[in-house]
Structure 1
C-alpha cells in the first residue's frame, strides 16, 4: 500500500506541475501579452512576475510538502528582505535554480527572481514559456551574443524598476564526469586550479552582471548547494531525489567584488576552492561542517496550492472539456508560445531579445 501511495504521489506531482505550467502560460500570461504588454510594458512586466510568483509557490508545495524535500540552510549570513542582489551558485544538477525559489519565497522576493539559463530551456512547454515571458536571460554559448544580451536584459530590468534577484551559475553547466575531465584539461592547459566537486568557473558572465548593476543591487550572495547523488528534474518532481538539499549562504558586499576582470577571476577561483572543500566534506559526512537551520513551509505555500488547484486548474480543465471556445483559445495560446520560442522577429517585437543582436545575424 505504501508503494502505491508513493507512486500516486509521484504521478500526481508530475501532472500538477506540467499541467499548471502550461495553463499559467496560456490562460494567465497570454492575455497579459495580448492585451496589456503592447500598451503598458511596465505593468505587463509586473503582472507576469506576480503570476509566476503564485506558480512558484505551487512548485514549492510539491517539492517541500508533497515530496517532503528538506532544505537545510548553513552559514552565519542570511539574505535580508528588501535587498536587490546577485545570487551566485555552483551547479551540481539541472534543478539547482529551482531552490532559489525557496529562499526568495521566505524573503518575499519571488516576483523578483531572474535566472540565467541555457537557451534550450525556453523551448520547454509551460515552464520554458513562462521563464521567457518573465524575461529570464537565456544564454547561447556565443559570448559575443550573450554579453550584449545580458546587458540588454539588465537594462530592461532597470527600466521596469525591478529589484532583481539575479541567479547566475559561473560554471555554465551542471557537473558530470565528462565535463569535469574537460574542465581539468582546460585548467591544466591554462594554468588554472583544478577542482574535484565543481567545474572551473567562468568570470565573464559574473562580470557582465555585476558591473551594470553596481548602482542597483545591494550585494552578491554566494550559495553552495549540494545533494546526495545527482538529482534530475524528473526525480525532483517525482519525489525520489533529492531528499535533502544543503545550501550554504555567504554574503559579499560590492566593495569585496573586484571590478578588474583579472582580479575578479582570481576572486572567483578562490570562492570555488572554498566550495570544492565544502562539497568534499559534504560528500564524506552528508552535511557541511557547521550547524544548519530548517525553515518549515509557510502557510502561503499551502494557500497558493489550494487556490491554484481548486480555483484555477480544476475550472480550466472543466472548461476545456465542455467549451469549444475555450479549446480554440487554448490552441491559439499554445501555438503562439511555440512560435514565440522559435520565431525571431516575434521575439524582437516583444523585446525578448535585442533587435540589433541575434545569433543568426552574427553567423554571417
Structure 2
C-alpha cells in the first residue's frame, strides 16, 4: 500500500514535469520556424508571433500549476487595476521559491499579457538546455552577481526593448536570491547588510538591490506605464503544529499539492511617481520592501484574525480552463506524435541535443 501511495505521489509531479520539459524540442522548433519566416519582415511581426508562441507555452505551464493543481489565488490591494488594465510595466516581487516565476504568468493572464513577460535572470541560467538560448531571443536579460554586474550590457539590452517598441512585463526580483527560512546564512548576510546601511533588519524579506531596477527605470521610463509591486505568500509555508514559517513549496512540491493556496498583494505605482535618482530610488525600494515585510508579518502572525491572510479585502482570481487546456492538448499531441514514430523520435532527440549544444555555444560567443 505504501509503495502504491509513493508511486501515485511521484506521478502527480513527474508526469507534468515530463510534459513541460519534454515539449521543449517542439517549442524551439516552432520558434525556429517563426524566426525564419519573419526574417524579411519588419521586427514587429517577429515580436508579435514570438509573444504568441511564448504565451501558448506558458499557458501549458499554467495548466499544470493552476488548472491541474486546483490552485486557489487570493488577490489583495489594487485588484481592479490588475483585472482591467493592459499596460507595459516593470514587475517587482519578493522571492521565495521557483514557483515565484509562475506568479507573473498568473497575474498577466487576465490582461492577456503573458507573451509580454521578460525577465532579468541570473547569468547561470543562460546554459539551461534550449530555454537558456531562447530566453535571450525573447529579450530577457542575463546578469551576473552584484559584484560583476555589467551595467553597460544590461542598459543596451533594455534600450533595445524601448527602441524596438517591444511590449513588456519586465520581471525583477530585487532581493537577488530566495528568502528561505532553511538558509540561515542568506538571512544573516541580509541582516548584516541592513545593519551596515543603518536600517532595521527585515524579518520576512531580504534587503533589496537597486541596480537592476535603477537601470530599468532609467531606460524604460518613457516605455512603461507603471511599476507593479507584488508580494507573495504561500498557504503551504506555515508549520501546522507551531504556526511558524517554513520554506515555500518548490515546483515539484507545488505540483504534488491539492488546491494549494496563493495569496498575492498587488500595488500599482505610476512610473512618474517613481524616483529617478539612484539614492532616492534606493530609499523608495527599501520602503516598498519594508511594506512587504509588514504584509508578510501579518500573514505569519499567530493571531487568529491575522494569520494566513494579508490585510484588507481579497478577491479570488480564476483562470478559465478554456485558456489553458488547449495549450496542454496541443503540446501533448505534438509530444505523442513525435515519440510514436521512429523518424519523429530521431528528429526529437537531434533537436534536443544539437539545439542545446548550439544554443550554449551561441551564448558563450555572445558573452
TM bucket, shorter chain: 0.7 to 0.9
- Residue 362 of structure 1 is matched in structure 2 by none
Return the alpha-carbon distance in structure 2 between the equivalents of residues 165 and 144 of structure 1: 25
Q: Secondary structure at the match of 1:323?
A: helix
Aligned residue number for residue 290 of structure 1: 312
Alignment root-mean-square deviation, CA: 2.5
Q: 1:178 — aligned with what?
A: 185
SS in 1 for 2:23: helix
Give CA-to-partner distance per residue, 1:192-211, whole Å, 9 cap, x none.
Answer: 33101110011121111011
Provide the TM-score with structure 2 as the length reference: 0.84
Q: Quote the offset at 1:345 in angstroms.
A: 6.2
Pair 1:20-2:23 in alignment: yes
Q: How much does 1:218 deviate?
A: 0.7
* 1:125/1:240 CA distance change after superposition, 3 Å: farther
Residue 242 of structure 2 is matched in structure 1 by: none
Q: Please, which moves more after superposition, 48-57 or 283-292?
A: 283-292
CA shift for structure 1 position 172: 0.9
Asked if 2 retains the 8 angstrom alpha-carbon contact of 1:88 and 1:222, the reply is yes
Task: Tell me, in whole angstroms, the C-alpha distance in 2 between the residues paired with 1:265 and 1:172.
Answer: 15
Q: CA deviation at 1:33?
A: 4.3
- 1:253 aligns with 270
The verdict on how the C-alpha distance between 1:329 and 1:64 changes in structure 2, with shifts beyond 3 A counting, is: closer
Shift of 1:138: 1.3
Rounded Cα–Cα distance in structure 2 between residues aligned with 1:82 and 1:61: 22
Aligned residue among 163, 166, 183 for 2:170: 166
Task: Could you tell me which runs of 5 or more consecutive residues in structure 2 were left unpaired when the two chains were aligned.
Answer: 238-246, 302-306
Mark the runs of 5 or more structure 1 residues left unpaired by the alignment: 349-357, 359-364
Q: Please name the residue that 2:244 is paired with.
A: none
Q: Which residue number corresponds to residue 141 of structure 1?
A: 145
- Native 8 Å contact 1:21 1:130 kept in 2: no
Give the number of aligned pairs: 342
Match of 2:135 among 128, 131, 135: 131
Offset of 1:130 from its aligned partner? 3.5
**Preserved CA contact (<8 Å) 1:232 1:241:** no
Deviations along 1:86-131, one digit per CA (max 9) or x if unpaired, are 1110112232121101111211111111111111222222443442
Cα deviation for residue 7 of structure 1 reads 3.8
Partner Cα separation in structure 2 for residue 117 and residue 226 of structure 1:
22
Match in the other structure for 1:323: 343
CA distance in 2, matches of 1:174, 1:47: 33
Contact 2:70–2:259 (CA under 8 A) maintained in structure 1? no
Q: Deviations over 1:206-242 (max 9, x none)?
A: 1110111111111111000111242223223x33399
**Is 1:231 paired with 2:249?**
yes
In the TM superposition, residue 143 of structure 1 has moved relative to its aligned partner by 5.6
- Decide whether the 8 Å contact of 1:30 with 1:333 is kept in 2: no
SS in 1 for 2:315: strand
Does 1:270 find its partner at 2:270? Answer: no
- 5 Å-filtered alignment, 1:1-364, equals 3=5, 5-25=8-28, 27-33=29-35, 36-37=38-39, 41-77=43-79, 78-79=81-82, 80-141=84-145, 145-176=149-180, 177-227=184-234, 228=237, 229-236=247-254, 238-240=255-257, 243-284=260-301, 285-298=307-320, 299-310=322-333, 312-318=334-340, 321-323=341-343, 327-328=346-347, 330-332=349-351, 334-344=353-363, 346=365, 348=366, 358=367
